[in-house]
Amino acid sequence: SLDAGNPLAVLGARTVFHLPYFFARMHIQHRQETIYYHSQRLGTRGPSPIYEAMYHPNGPVFFAHHGTLEYWLTERYCLYTVTEKNRVYRVDIQHGPWPLQPAEQTSKRNTMASAQGIPLPDQPPLLHFARQQDVLFWPLHRIL
């Protein structure tokens, strides 16, 4: 699932693209290269899942090479979605290669996965940082 702080963005993502977006109260602060992030999902049954952390880039910019995990995770040029009636749609996406940097984070609170009954592994996460980049997407087209 995905969280967004704008209720119209959540409504659009859910109704137009059939994506599992949820409304959240989000706060982001920038101090030099460090980003402080807090998100609390709203409108859920039971305790509201929370993610709170700070992170920063800690290495030079690089572009993911074809065949690497970083490439597979970031260089996505379409998405697929399935409606309640099991219709499959595709959305084409256009963006330049992501200028990635290795990153470090300090997690203060993370109940996002546990709220869904998903255990997190006891190892550091794979983290990358990318500055804002424009992304274009096209209307849905049905493929099945």
Q: Greatest CA separation found in the chain?
A: 48
> Helix, strand, coil: what percent of the chain each, to 5?
10, 40, 45
Q: What are the domain boundaries of the chain?
A: 2-142
* The pLDDT of residue 12 is above 90: yes
Residues 56-98 pLDDT 10s: 999 999 999 999 999 999 999 999 999 999 999 999 999 999 9
Query: How confident is the prediction for the chain on average, in pLDDT?
Result: 95
**C-alpha–C-alpha distance, residues 64 and 49, integer Å:** 32
Give the mean pLDDT of 22-41.
96
Q: Are 75 and 92 in contact (CB under 8 A)?
A: no
Find, among 86, 72, 124, 126, the residue nearest to 102 by Cα: 126
**Phi, psi values for residue 92, rounded to 5°:** -85, 145
47 confidence band (pLDDT: 50, 70, 90)? confident
pLDDT the model gives residue 116: 87
What's the whole-model pTM score?
0.84
pLDDT the model gives residue 4: 96
* The pLDDT of residue 128 is above 90: yes
